[in-house]
Amino acid sequence: MKWLAGIALCFCCANVSAQEIIIEELNGLEDGISLSQSPIFEDVVEEVTAVPGTGAVLRGLDKLSGHVEDFELQNGFSVGFGQLRIDLAECRHPDDNATGEAYAFLTIFDGPAVGEPAFQGWMIASSPALNAMDHARYDIWVLRCTTAPEEGSE
């Protein structure tokens, strides 16, 4: 059986020693990177102005029980979901489309002790995985911002 291992080792070493490495220098490129802009995207740049909403609608998922709950939270307030305490500092949305996108700054604590937060940062409604809370039991994400009712509407 030892002779079989020896033969396998010879084949492995033969393949490694038979490989040839060729290094070529790319001429005309600085650091091997070419940065050229396509004229297609020149007029696509659009600035989005975000304005604060009055609060946010969040969704919580308890992965153990399967319980899903939506809750509305005003800026500067907290809500409990399972063992979590969720603080909403501010929710912002595009000025021209309040229902189009939501950016919420959340601080989430796990358990009753106020120490290091389990999550702190901006969550984006259209890309919840971009800056998600990493928790074994709970998922929290932003659905939309709430806005003040327009004058004259009830």
Q: Give dist(CA 15, CA 107) in Å, integer.
A: 55
- Per-residue confidence (pLDDT) for residue 4, from 0 to 100: 60
Outline where 19-151 has alpha helix (H). Answer: none
Yes or no: say if 36 and 19 are a contact pair by the CB < 8 Å rule.
no
- Per-residue confidence (pLDDT) for residue 62, from 0 to 100: 95
Domain boundaries, the chain: 50-146
pTM for this predicted structure = 0.66
Coil, helix or strand at residue 19: coil
pLDDT in tens, 34-85: 555 556 656 666 677 888 999 999 999 999 999 999 999 999 999 999 999 9
Yes or no: say if 92 and 145 are a contact pair by the CB < 8 Å rule.
yes
H/E element holding 11?
helix 2-18
Residue 98 pLDDT grade (very low, low, confident, very high; cuts 50, 70, 90):
confident
H/E element holding 84?
strand 84-94
